[in-house]
Structures are given as structure tokens and as C-alpha cells.
């Protein structure tokens, strides 16, 4: 059976630095998807009974392989989505830490949880896997996004079907190879080049699928959640963000600007949890904007393969066009652009860092996520105004508050509506820190101990003892 979606969906590597197609991969047929579902379901029946020590040994070996092959793996995603080699190797270091973290801690995280009850009975919660899961992953962190889903769930004893972004087919295939090289049973993790229609029409309605985790856009999350709800499947969604960084005061403005700038430019601004809205007190606002603009003007395109590469292309020409359209729309509506208004006369998806001020409600960018190197700076005159502006967003992923007065920073941070808040430090993705948001930024948590509380049967056991 072949659908139109299978004809139109294209899994291929297109180098964003040149716009040239490098390699193409065939989309799966419905029969191949059904076969993958069956194999994943059958693998679950044995993988769930594999001793936890053996499951975590596989994860530990996976971590070692990522370390050994980091140079090769970084080059793959540089070609797929433009990530500079130094940043790619940084992503791979975090990936190794994630697999090792769950290898080291999963057994403790799965320990039975005793409950208080009558003296003549015993009650406890045990954590059991639920079955075959679907992961739908994005292109911006090809290895990391998969790791934070796969590591805890494979440790639990679940099995995985992984649908990666159509522009990351090479890294998707390599990850499956790494699991098999590490000793994971072949069908416990299966890479599938599926279409969105196959997710909705074939996978989610199938009783062999027990849940879906998606990292992606708000629109994609809404669509997948609707289908999952229709089929009574558990979902974890990590969606967009418009994270506020609040600067109340600073003893060293130059250092603070450098911190904010570096946090936003990571992955060329293509991260959900980066400072998309910089909220700055009026007494330092003008100088902050001046220094930030100067830093942005210094960035010029570089070869993503270079060891010290700074400004890499966006993930695709289409991403570049979307980003520039959003920026131009905001300026047309009255926003002030300080730098980045001109495009490079280059092929591919390079864009200049953009600094925007005077962005008002109703303009593009005020309530939209700008997925690229755009700095929006807002001026406020009080803590109350800063908090109100920080919370005036449909998103609620991450946030950060900076002040030389720790107590004041903590007080303001307590009033920010977000799934994560950082105080006097930029946001971080670490293996031990739970990651996730509120409002339209999604539901559920990944990483840290909470990652193993999502796709799990917290089964009650109650027994009389005499």
C-alpha cells in the first residue's frame, strides 16, 4: 500500500552551506512501518525482562562509542544541518554524559517506592516499562534530542521506533548502528523513515504503540497530541520557547552582554531554550543595546568545518527564508533594527545576527518564536514591569534572572511562569537537570530523574502480611 505522503516526503541530506543535495534516502512503505511495529513489540517482551544491569551496560557502551566516533559524527550533522564542528563535538560530549548518567542511575531510579499503611499489610509502587514507543525528533540537535528520549526509556525496558527529521537521515541511521554495535537487541531501537501521515494513520492507532514523545514546533506538537489523544496514547511534548532573560543590574555590563550574546548565538540561535527576549532595566538599557549590537556586527560567515567556526548557516534555505520574513515583518510594523538588515551575498542559509528593539504587542516576533540569531531587547523600569513582560507569552520553557543582589534575583525568578528558571547563570542543558516547560511549550519532562517517570507503569503492589 502506497500513499501520496510516501511519494512527497523526502529524507535527504542538503548541505545548508551550499544548498546542494548530498544524499537521499527512501521513505518507508506502510508495510515496512507495520513490520517495524511488530518487531519492536516482540523485542519489548524480552528486553523488559533483561536484567537492569545488562540494559545499563548497553547504555554505558553507547556512551563510549559516541566518544570514540565524535569527530566522524560531528561531520555528519555539519553537512545535514550546518552545525559547526566545535558545537557538534560539544553536543556529542553531552550525549555521552546522558547515556552514562542513566547507565549509572537507572537502577536507583527504578527502586520500589514503599507506602505507609496498616501494620498487617505491605504496599509499594514498582516501576515497570510500558512497551514500544514512538520518538519524533527535530533537526537542531540531532544526537542530543534522541539521547534524552532513548536513554531513560531503554533503561526502563521500553523499546523505540525513532522518526527523525527528514533532513537528518544520515545521523538517524548511524544512531541505530551505534545501538547495535553496543549490544542492544536489533529490534529494541528501530530507525524509520516515516511520513507524518504514517504517524497519524498507521503508528498511533496501532495497539502495539504505547506512547509518543515529540520535540518540535508548537504546530507539530498540537497535531501529534490530537492524534495521540484520539488513540488514548501518552505523550511527552517539548515544543517552542520565547525565553526571557531579565537583567535587573550588573557590576560588569561587558561581561553580562558577552554572557547573553553567547547564550543566544549557540547553534546559530536555533535552540528552544535560548534568550529570545532580553528584558533590561532602563538605567543600563542604552549601553546594553550598544554593546550587543557591536558584538553582533563582529560575526561573519565561516566554514562550519573550521575548528574555531563562529557563524554557521541556519539549518536550511527554507529556515533562512522563514527567519528573514519574520524579521522583515517586525521591522515593517515599526520595530527598530540595529544590525542584520542586509543579507549576505552567499549561497546557502547564512544570515546575519539581528538586533531588534521597540518590538510591541501585535508585531511579528512579540509572541512568535524567532528561530535564528535574533536578539530582541526590551526596556523596563521596575521589577514588576519585568515580570509582567516576561510572562506575556504563550510559551513557558526556560528563563533566567540576573542581579548582583541574589535575594532580589530569587524573588523575581519565583514569579516567572516557566518550566525552568536559572539565577545568575545562562540556561543549561545538563544530563541531571530535568528539561521541559509549561503553557504552550509542552508537557512532560526529559533528563534527570524525572525522565524515567514518563513512559512507565507505576504499578501498585499491596499484600497482606499476616
Decide if 47 contacts 33 (C-beta within 8 A).
no
Handedness of CA 78, 306, 271, 21 (dihedral sign): negative
Q: Collapsing DSSP states into helix, strand and coil, what is residue 219?
A: helix
Q: Collapsing DSSP states into helix, strand and coil, what is residue 395?
A: coil
Catalytic residue among 272, 368, 427, 454: 272
Rg of the chain taking only CA atoms, in angstroms: 23
Decide if 399 contacts 422 (C-beta within 8 A).
yes
Decide if 354 contacts 340 (C-beta within 8 A).
yes
Q: Which of 271, 307, 131, 137 has the alpha carbon at shortest distance from 207?
A: 131
Write b or e for each residue in 314-331: b if 16 or more Cβ atoms lie within 10 A of its Cβ, otherwise e. bbbbebbeebbebbeebb
Strand ranges of the sheet holding 456-464, from the earlier edge strand across to the other edge:
113-115, 121-129, 456-464
238 is catalytic: yes
Phi/psi for 12 (5° steps) reads -155, 155
Pairing state of beta strands 20-25 and 11-15? antiparallel
Q: What is the DSSP string of 131-178?
A: -EEEEE--SSSHHHHHHHHHHHHHHHT-EEEEE--TT-HHHHHHHHHH
User: Which residues are paired to 115 by β-bridges?
Assistant: 123
Catalytic residue among 80, 91, 238, 431: 238
CB-based contacts of 36, cutoff 8 Å, min separation 6 = 28, 161, 190, 192
Q: Collapsing DSSP states into helix, strand and coil, what is residue 228?
A: helix
**Residue 29 DSSP label:** P
Q: Collapsing DSSP states into helix, strand and coil, what is residue 230?
A: helix
Strand ranges of the sheet holding 189-191, from the earlier edge strand across to the other edge:
189-191, 159-163, 132-136, 209-215, 234-238, 442-443
168 is catalytic: no
Burial class (CB in 10 A: 0-12, 13-18, 19+), 119: exposed
Catalytic residues: 238, 272
Amino acid at each position: 500500500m502506497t500513499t501520496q505522503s510516501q511519494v512527497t516526503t523526502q529524507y535527504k541530506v542538503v548541505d545548508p552551506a551550499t544548498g546542494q543535495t548530498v544524499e537521499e534516502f527512501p521513505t518507508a512503505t506502510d508495510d515496512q512501518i507495520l513490520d517495524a511495529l511488530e518487531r519492536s513489540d516482540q523485542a519489548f517482551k524480552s528486553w523488559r525482562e533483561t536484567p537492569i544491569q545488562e540494559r545499563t551496560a548497553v547504555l554505558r557502551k553507547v556512551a563510549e562509542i559516541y566518544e570514540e566516533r565524535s569527530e566522524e559524527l560531528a561531520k555528519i550533522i555539519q553537512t545535514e544541518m550546518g552545525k559547526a564542528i566545535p558545537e557538534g563535538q560539544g553536543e556529542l560530549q553531552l550525549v555521552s554524559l546522558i547515556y552514562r548518567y542513566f547507565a549509572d542511575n537507572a537502577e536507583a531510579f527504578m527502586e520500589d517506592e514503599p507506602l505507609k499503611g496498616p501494620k498487617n499489610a505491605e504496599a509499594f509502587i514498582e516501576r515497570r516499562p510500558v512497551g514500544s514507543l514512538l520518538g519524533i525528533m527535530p533537526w537542531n540537535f540531532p544526537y542530543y534530542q534522541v539521547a534524552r528520549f532513548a536513554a531513560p526509556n531503554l533503561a526502563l525496558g521500553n523499546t523505540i521506533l525513532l522518526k527523525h527529521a527528514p533532513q537528518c537521515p544520515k545521523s538517524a541511521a548511524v544512531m541505530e548502528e551505534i545501538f547495535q554495535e553496543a549490544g542492544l537487541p536489533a529490534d529494541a531501537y528501530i530507525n524509520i523513515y516515516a511520513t507524518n501521515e504514517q504517524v497519524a494513520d498507521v503508528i498511533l492507532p496501532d495497539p502495539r504503540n504505547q506512547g509518543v514523545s515529540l520535540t518540535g514546533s508548537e504546530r507539530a506538537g498540537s497535531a501529534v497530541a490530537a492524534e495521540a489523544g484520539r488513540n488514548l496514547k501518552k505523550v511527552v511534548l517539548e515544543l517552542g520557547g520565547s525565553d526571557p532573560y531579565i537583567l535587573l543590574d550588573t557590576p560588569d555590563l561587558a561581561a553580562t552582554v558577552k554572557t547573553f550574546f553567547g547564550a543566544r548565538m549557540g547553534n546559530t540561535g536555533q535552540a528552544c531554550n535560548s534568550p529570545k527576549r532580553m528584558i533590561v532595566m532602563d538605567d543600563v538599557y542604552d549601553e546594553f543595546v550598544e554593546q550587543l549590537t557591536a558584538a553582533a556586527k563582529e560575526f561573519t560567515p565561516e566554514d562550519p568545518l573550521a575548528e574555531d567556526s563562529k557563524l554557521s548557516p541556519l539549518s536550511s534555505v527554507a529556515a533562512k527564508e522563514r527567519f528573514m520574513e519574520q524579521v522583515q515583518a517586525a521591522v515593517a510594523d515599526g520595530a527598530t533594527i540595529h544590525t542584520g538588515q542586509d543579507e549576505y551575498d552567499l549561497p546557502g542559509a547564512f544570515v546575519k545576527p539581528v538586533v531588534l528593539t521597540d518590538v510591541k504587542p501585535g508585531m511579528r516576533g512579540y509572541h512568535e518564536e524567532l528561530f535564528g540569531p535574533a536578539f530582541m531587547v526590551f526596556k523596563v523600569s521596575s521589577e514588576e514591569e519585568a515580570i509582567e513582560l516576561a510572562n506575556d507569552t504563550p510559551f513557558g520553557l526556560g528563563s533566567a534572572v540576573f542581579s548582583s543582589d541574589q535575594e532580589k534575583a530569587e524573588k523575581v525568578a519565583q514569579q516567572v511562569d516557566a518550566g525552568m528558571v536559572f539565577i545568575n547563570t545562562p540556561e543549561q542543558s545538563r544530563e541531571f537537570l530535568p528539561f521541559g516547560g509549561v503553557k504552550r511549550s509542552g508537557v512532560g519532562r526529559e533528563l534527570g530523574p524525572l525522565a524515567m517517570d514518563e513512559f512507565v507503569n507505576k504499578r501498585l503492589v499491596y499484600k497482606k502480611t499476616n
